[in-house]
């Protein structure tokens, strides 16, 4: 099975991997900007997300293998690879396993270290969406608002809603599996992995995902890497300060 994607533009292949509970479509605005600069942008839905296939297996090893099958399917010899959060972990995994397939690696607001579980409220809220009774996105937002105060987070999650058929809403994300396997999302990159090509780590100035103390581990596993900070941005740095994020990415590419 091949991952679903939107492919924008023509030129040098640039694959973008979304974060947990996201989908490739979250990156469409920036994808269009990269395409205008001569890149063939692949906005990929990872397994159990977006329009891609569902599977009971949900590990970074499996997601890296999905990406290998994807680039082979499209005959992409060497790619630039950008991943955010969970997608960044997949990107690191892939680059370390298949370094000859990656020209440049970009990792947005995630490091190779392990992270504690912190998505419990989101998963709980989504599990309470009863699509036998909910008929509108507004009604679904009302349920989520009892657990998630931040409007931006709720709007991000609500992008997972779609019309299964007329009058019937459903979730694109495979909620059962990602909830069961949530510990996999926070796992560290294998400590023996090293990627020796150019790598850019981008972090949000208001995010705590990449701390100063993490630099030693990052340089150990990605010795040709540098870390840049996107101003006035948290974990969703590409959405909160897209212009500065875009400039950092383009300068690196």
The residue from 4, 49, 235, 238 that is catalytic is 235
Dist. CA 12–CA 250, nearest whole Å: 13
Dist. CA 65–CA 73, nearest whole Å: 12
Is residue 48 within 8 Å of 36, Cβ to Cβ?
no
Grouping H, G, I as helix, E, B as strand and the rest as coil, residue 228 is: strand
The residue from 85, 207, 225, 238 that is catalytic is 85
Dist. CA 49–CA 22, nearest whole Å: 7
Dist. CA 253–CA 249, nearest whole Å: 6
Look up 103 and say whether it is catalytic.
no
Instruction: Enumerate residues 6+ apart whose C-beta is below 8 A from 51.
Output: 4, 23, 45, 172
CA angle at 15 for the pair 245 and 104, rounded to the nearest 5°: 70
Look up 54 and say whether it is catalytic.
no
- Tell me the CA end-to-end span of the chain in Å, nearest whole number: 30
Nearest to 90 by CA among 72, 118, 68: 68
Cite the active site residues: 85, 235
């Amino acid at each position: 099975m091949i991952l679903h994607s939107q492919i924008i533009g023509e030129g040098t292949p640039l694959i973008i991997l979304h974060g947990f509970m996201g989908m490739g479509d979250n990156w469409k605005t920036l994808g269009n900007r990269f395409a205008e600069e001569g890149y063939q942008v692949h906005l990929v839905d990872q397994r159990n997300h977006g329009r891609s296939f569902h599977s009971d297996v949900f590990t970074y090893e499996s997601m890296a293998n999905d990406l290998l099958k994807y680039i082979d399917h499209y005959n992409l010899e060497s790619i630039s690879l950008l991943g955010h959060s969970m997608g960044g972990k997949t990107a690191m995994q892939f680059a370390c396993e298949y370094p000859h397939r990656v020209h440049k690696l970009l990792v947005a607001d995630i490091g190779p270290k392990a992270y504690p579980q912190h998505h419990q409220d989101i998963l709980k809220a989504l599990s309470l969406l009863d699509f036998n009774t909910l008929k509108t996105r507004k009604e679904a937002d009302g349920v989520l608002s009892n657990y998630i105060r931040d409007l931006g987070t709720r709007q991000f999650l609500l992008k997972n809603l779609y019309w299964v058929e007329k009058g019937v809403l459903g979730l694109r994300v495979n909620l059962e599996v990602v909830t069961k396997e949530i510990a996999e999302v926070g796992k560290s990159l294998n400590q023996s992995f090293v990627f020796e090509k150019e790598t850019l780590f981008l972090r949000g100035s208001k995010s705590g995902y990449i701390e100063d103390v993490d630099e030693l581990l990052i340089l150990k596993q990605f010795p040709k890497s540098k870390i840049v900070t996107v101003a006035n941005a948290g974990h969703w740095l590409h959405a909160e300060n897209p212009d500065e994020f875009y400039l950092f990415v383009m300068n690196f590419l």
